[in-house]
Amino acid sequence: MSSRKDPEPPAQPKTGFSRRGFIRGVGLGSGAVGTGLLEREAVAAPAPANVAGPGPVPITLTINGKPVNVTVEPRVTLLDAMRNYLDLTGAKRVCDRGTCGACTVILAGKTVYSCSVLAIDAQGKNIETIEGLAAGNNLHPVSTAFVNNDAQQCGYCTAGFVMAAKGFLDKHPNPTMDDVKHGLGGNLCRCGTYMGVRPAVLEAAKQMKGAKNG
Amino acid sequence: MANTPDYNWPPMEKRRIIGKPYKRLDGPQKASGRAKYGSDIRPKGLLFGVYLTSPHAHARVTSIDTSAAEKSAGVKAVHVVSPAGTEVQWAGTEIAAVAATTEEAARDAVRKIKVEYEVLPHLVKEDDLAKAGARGKAAGEKVVGDPDKAFQEAEAVSEGQYGIPVITHCCLETHGSITQWQGDQVNVWPSTQDVTHYAGSLGPNLKVPIANIHVKQDYIGGGFGSKFAPDSWGQVGAFLSQKSGGRPVILFLDRETELMIAGNRPSAYAKIKIAGKKDGTVTAWQSDSWATGGFTGGGSPPLPYIIDTIPNQRLHHTAVAVNAGPNRAWRAPNNQQASYLTCSALEDFAAKIGMDPMDVFHKNVSYAPSARVETYRYQLQKAAELADWKKLWHPRGEGGSGMVKRGLGLGFSAWGGGGHQSQCRTTINPDGSVLVEIGTQDLGTGTRTIITQVAAETLGLQMGAIKLAIGSSDLPPDSASGGSTTVGGVSSSTRKAAVNALAKLFEAAAPALGAQPEDLEAVDSRIRVKGNPSKTLSWQAACRKLGTTKISEMGENNQRNPGGLNTSGAAGVQVADVSVDTETGLVKINRYIAVQDCGMIINPRLAESQIHGAVIMGISTALFEQRVMDEQTGRMLNADMEFYKLAGINDIGEIVVHLDIREENDKRGVIGLGEPPAVAICAAVGNAVANAIGVRVPNIPMTPDHVLGALEGRNA
């Protein structure tokens, strides 16, 4: 049940917004958090200069290598920005809490749950999504392997699984079955397609290596 | 010829496409993220709907004030679902809904709705019947034979208490729809198991002519029995759209609400006593069972399951109403519960008399419906063989001297299937193109693929020559995908429509071939004279004989008279091979054997996927899933996917499927496989754990908590 994928580390102050920066900004130590004081003080305190929002802010995301401008509130997750603002609906919102992997994307080479990354924090990094995996009507070798091994039923988890498998194979190009069972532990399927996913990832590994070497 | 056309399935040896493992046709769309589900549709001007739900399990709404929400930025519509005076009977009940230009704005607005409640006393747990009080409604006692005498005279009596909790469907796509109600026209993109009847259910509530409601669904992200009707959110989404002046509104439940109110499987608990002979023959059954299906009832497992002609029985069932979301059909309703209770009690009886449960099950399947007795015997033998039962089974408590004990357990299942009411239209155009249309839906079971296989087989064409349209209310009516009846229904209606259309094509082509229509056959994309393959026309050339008039023919599966094309009745036997760590209480599946009866298999790859899926879902329920209710707050404590656990890719062991494709089964026609293999998993896993550790763990799921509890009880 456990996942090897950790949510992204706390945001770096690159975008001007981070939890740590926020706490510093209102001039309170963490000791105040438990008292409820922080929340009340935060409303009254003047906004520090480097805080984004709470209203919509223009941001630029690099999605599948292309810059995309969008205006969202800082609280909007990368997943919601893609689905609700950019019509990129391949990643699915299922648990919305970093558990199921249906929203998996690859952010700066790292496999992440896009429901657990703020859109503003995803700026400046390439975001690989299922939409960018293959051009036109072509299929990426991972997608092809999922089709060949019937690693899908309703398909709602599939796009996330394919992205997780792609990210896994980027780092582990020559996995064993045991590696696959652990490496894909961060994605959940309700229809029960795991018996297809297992051989699909191994088949994809073979195909992708062939593609690289060839 | 006035004869009834021959709709029969072609004999096994003549099939070119039926029975072959074609890859699912919508696989590439899904695996590339291009498949658009209802929740993915983004029409122009889309508004985002969000619900406010009740935090209380039982309360009366005394006042509701939406004025601040209405003024909130971006809000275009507010709809009150539960006005003042409404008595709420479960936490998560919909109180009001807001539609706004962004989801964030809608969530902000929902927080501004002021609701006051008079909180009323609640009951949310049913595992202890003594605490149910007036909430328990006894169904009355049912007696067969003379159970008192049978128990008195029995050579052996075993007793036990067993429980299987409420679980949720947890469809990955939550319930909901996108709805646009503009003027007198309503467009809906739902997530539904019943495209055909959706408009008919929605129309009266909206007071819109059903003909004006257009339903479109290409893909659905899981249903499992929970997504038949439009539900209240179907209506509320429409009302929000209307109130906003006709803008489309997306209203899908969030995960928490989904798990609380959008469907669950009823629980079942029972105290069971079995009397029998030392040779393993059961002579009497007594059960005091209780269950909850939520506040509105439901949940009455048919006991004793399968072996229901035990000569002496005393049955007593109590339905408990709790303040929690209502149950819905859950992949083989009541069967998992009945299988778990019955197979657990039977295994305990075997342990009591010191017999191998395989032998005890063999002996007692004589109490199953007579038509199935031999099937079960065959399947028990097959399952034993595949599980290496003779070598690996051991008497209880002899699972090894180490901390980790291995055990084997057994369960059985039965299901109907059959074919639902379905109509198909097959069109053959003068240019040779073929369109097959059915108002059905593909739940991920492979419905698109099997319809196309049947049409291609019947018309003598390749798969790629068939264009298929499903998932729209404008198409010929089909039925709900429930009860494993879709494959039987759509395969039969498709077969008939294709046979009927082909007969018309034969009429058009016959003069050119100098033959009678009934002498023609369609093979390898050609129309030719039977027995004289040299007299032949290509498919295209034959279709050109139609001039400018297309052929459009209907075919219907009559649910009550399927004409031998489909039937019902599937049996199964399953064996779990588990290891239990007696120090941590962790249960691990080593292997899982599923021996499954079937009818004519249209696509063995998809059939196997169905069985894998059913078993994996069952393993998830056997090891992890339970709705945890909090007595104090009346709320579900694990209404999220972190703590409502589903099995992952490494939790399921190795699954071995034996699909019983024999000619005698093939002759029965098509039988659905969605539910039959989903029944026996809790039974088999529970029995395997008991076999491993030597003590019965009464309650599913087989969590460390439950396992250690049982082990400690034994030691105490």
User: Which among B557, B592, B613 is the end of a domain?
Assistant: B557
Mark whether A169 and A208 lie in a shared domain: yes
Return the residue in A190, A197, A198, A201 with the most chain B beta carbons within 10 A, the one to mutate for interface testing: A190
Mark whether B583 and B650 lie in a shared domain: yes
Q: Does B31 touch chain A (CB under 8 A)?
A: yes
Mark whether A61 and A126 lie in a shared domain: yes
Give the CATH number, domain containing residue A126. Answer: 3.10.20.30
Mean pLDDT by groups of 10 residues along chain B of 716 residues: 80 96 98 98 98 98 98 98 98 98 98 98 95 92 98 98 98 98 97 98 95 98 97 97 98 98 97 98 98 89 97 97 97 97 98 98 97 96 98 92 96 95 98 98 98 98 98 98 97 98 98 96 97 95 97 97 95 98 98 97 97 98 98 97 98 96 92 97 98 97 97 67
Q: Helix (H, G, I), strand (E, B), or coil: what is residue B75?
A: strand
Mark whether A64 and A108 lie in a shared domain: yes
Does B317 reside within a domain? no
Mark whether A158 and A128 lie in a shared domain: no
pLDDT at B417: 87
Mark whether B113 and B80 lie in a shared domain: yes
Q: Nearest-CA neighbor of B136 among B286, B328, B289? A: B289
Q: Nearest-CA neighbor of A130 among A99, A105, A165, A94? A: A105
Q: Does A28 touch chain B (CB under 8 A)?
A: no
**A182 and B222 in contact by Cβ < 8 A?**
no
Work out the pLDDT band at A52, boundaries 50, 70, 90: confident
Q: Nearest-CA neighbor of A119 among A161, A167, A164, A70? A: A70
- CA-based torsion, B688, B690, B696, B701: positive or negative: negative
pLDDT at A37: 42
pLDDT at B714: 53
Mark whether B655 and B528 lie in a shared domain: no
The H or E element spanning position B370 is: helix B370-387
Give the CATH number, domain containing residue B195. Answer: 3.90.1170.50
pLDDT at A143: 98
Q: Helix (H, G, I), strand (E, B), or coil: what is residue B588?
A: strand
Mark whether A115 and A166 lie in a shared domain: no
pLDDT at A45: 55
Q: Does A197 touch chain B (CB under 8 A)?
A: yes
pLDDT at A22: 41
Does A17 reside within a domain? no
Mark whether A128 and A145 lie in a shared domain: no
The ipTM of this complex is 0.97
User: Which among B527, B557, B587 is the end of a domain?
Assistant: B557
Does B95 reside within a domain? yes
Report phi then psi at B557, rounded to 5.
Answer: -95, 120
The single-letter DSSP state of residue A82 is I
Mark whether B499 and B587 lie in a shared domain: no
Does B150 reside within a domain? no
Does A68 reside within a domain? yes
Does B442 reside within a domain? yes
Q: Helix (H, G, I), strand (E, B), or coil: what is residue B589?
A: strand
Q: How close A104 comes to chain B (CA, Å)? A: 12
Q: Between β-strands B156-164 and B268-276, what pairing exists: parallel, antiparallel or unpaired?
A: antiparallel
Mark whether B429 and B483 lie in a shared domain: yes
Q: Does B219 touch chain A (CB under 8 A)?
A: yes
Residue B2 token pair: 């006035």
Does A86 reside within a domain? yes
**CA B84 – CA B594 distance, rounded (Å):** 53
User: Which among B218, B252, B286 is the end of a domain?
Assistant: B252
Work out the pLDDT band at A5, boundaries 50, 70, 90: very low
Q: Nearest-CA neighbor of B286 among B313, B320, B310? A: B313
Mark whether A67 and A128 lie in a shared domain: yes
In chain B, what residues touch A57 (CB-CB under 8 Å)?
Answer: none
Rg (chain B; Cα; Å):
28
Put simply, the chain A residues between 108 and 147 with a CB less than 8 A from any chain B CB are 129-131, 133-134, 139-140, 142-144, 146-147
Q: Does A153 touch chain B (CB under 8 A)?
A: yes
Residue B618 amino acid letter: G
Give the CATH number, domain containing residue A187. Answer: 1.10.150.120
Q: Does A25 have pLDDT greater than 80?
A: no
CB B655 within 8 Å of CB B677: no
Mark whether B609 and B588 lie in a shared domain: yes
Residue B412 amino acid letter: F
**CA B617 – CA B281 distance, rounded (Å):** 33
Q: Does B152 touch chain A (CB under 8 A)?
A: no
Mark whether B93 and B109 lie in a shared domain: yes
- Tell me the β-bridge partners of B422: B557
Q: What is chain B's percent helix, strand, coil content, to nearest 5?
A: 30, 25, 40
What is the mean predicted confidence (pLDDT) over A184-198?
Answer: 98
**B171 and A180 in contact by Cβ < 8 A?**
no
Does A67 reside within a domain? yes
- Kindly write down the DSSP assignment for every residue of B278-347, as one continuous string: TTS-EEEEEEEEEE--STT------SS-S-TT-SEEEEEEEEE--SSPPP---SSTTHHHHHHHHHHHHH
Q: Does B656 touch chain A (CB under 8 A)?
A: no
Does B149 reside within a domain? no
Q: Does A20 have pLDDT greater than 80?
A: no
In chain A, what residues touch B646 (CB-CB under 8 Å)?
Answer: 100, 188-190
Does B196 reside within a domain? yes
Mark whether B705 and B682 lie in a shared domain: yes
Put simply, the chain A residues between 42 and 101 with a CB less than 8 A from any chain B CB are 73, 75-76, 80, 83-84, 87, 89-97, 99-100
Work out how many domains chain B is built from and give that number: 3
Does B187 reside within a domain? yes
**B255 and A97 in contact by Cβ < 8 A?**
yes
Which residues, 6 or more positions from B569, have their beta carbon under 8 angstroms from its beta carbon?
B371, B372, B414, B415, B416, B417, B597, B668, B671
Cis, peptide link before residue B676, omega less than 30° from 0: no
**B31 and A147 in contact by Cβ < 8 A?**
yes
- Comparing alpha-carbon positions, the chain B residue that sits nearest to A140 is B32
Does A28 reside within a domain? no
Does A91 reside within a domain? yes
Q: Does A154 touch chain B (CB under 8 A)?
A: yes
Q: How close B14 comes to chain A (CA, Å)? A: 26
Q: Nearest-CA neighbor of B101 among B257, B252, B254, B247? A: B247
Report phi then psi at B396, rounded to 5.
Answer: -50, 140
Mark whether B523 and B540 lie in a shared domain: yes
Mark whether B442 and B396 lie in a shared domain: no
Mark whether A169 and A118 lie in a shared domain: no
What is the mean predicted confidence (pLDDT) over A137-148?
Answer: 96
- Comparing alpha-carbon positions, the chain A residue that sits nearest to B27 is A147
pLDDT at B414: 96
**B651 and A193 in contact by Cβ < 8 A?**
no
What is the mean predicted confidence (pLDDT) over A74-79?
Answer: 98
- Comparing alpha-carbon positions, the chain A residue that sits nearest to B656 is A195
User: Which among A87, A110, A132 is the end of a domain?
Assistant: A132
Mark whether A120 and A176 lie in a shared domain: no
Between chain A and chain B, how many beta carbons pairs sit less than 8 Å apart?
183
Which of A75, A131, A194 is opposite residue B33, by nearest beta carbon? A131
Work out how many domains chain A is built from and give that number: 2
Mark whether A156 and A182 lie in a shared domain: yes
User: Which among A71, A99, A132 is the end of a domain?
Assistant: A132
Return the residue in B26, B441, B625, B650 with the most chain A beta carbons within 10 A, the one to mutate for interface testing: B650
- Tell me the β-bridge partners of B268: B164
Task: Identify the domain containing residue A107 by its residue range.
Answer: 57-132
Does A3 reside within a domain? no
**A194 and B648 in contact by Cβ < 8 A?**
yes
In chain A, what residues touch B36 (CB-CB under 8 Å)?
Answer: 89
Give the CB-side neighbour count of residue B494, counting CA atoms within 13 A.
Answer: 37
Mark whether A158 and A202 lie in a shared domain: yes
Q: Does B652 touch chain A (CB under 8 A)?
A: yes
Which of A140, A153, A187 is opposite residue B613, by nearest beta carbon? A153
Q: How close B407 comes to chain A (CA, Å)? A: 23
Give the CB-side neighbour count of residue B617, counting CA atoms within 13 A.
Answer: 31
User: Which among A132, A157, A187 is the end of a domain?
Assistant: A132
In chain A, what residues touch B650 (CB-CB under 8 Å)?
Answer: 181-182, 185
The single-letter DSSP state of residue B603 is -
Q: Which one is predicted more confidently, A200 or A2?
A: A200
Does A7 reside within a domain? no
Q: How close B449 comes to chain A (CA, Å)? A: 12
In chain A, what residues touch B443 (CB-CB under 8 Å)?
Answer: 153-154
Mark whether A113 and A78 lie in a shared domain: yes
Task: Identify the domain containing residue B524 by its residue range.
Answer: 12-35+419-557
Mark whether B647 and B603 lie in a shared domain: yes
pTM of the predicted structure, to 2 decimals: 0.94
**B609 and A196 in contact by Cβ < 8 A?**
yes
Q: How close B609 comes to chain A (CA, Å)? A: 7
- Tell me the β-bridge partners of B546: none
Q: CA distances (Å), A184 to each of A187, B31, B588, in order?
A: 6, 16, 18
Residue B391 amino acid letter: K
**B615 and A198 in contact by Cβ < 8 A?**
no
Which of B32, B33, B221 is opposite residue A154, by nearest beta carbon? B221
Give the CATH number, domain containing residue B703. Answer: 3.30.365.10
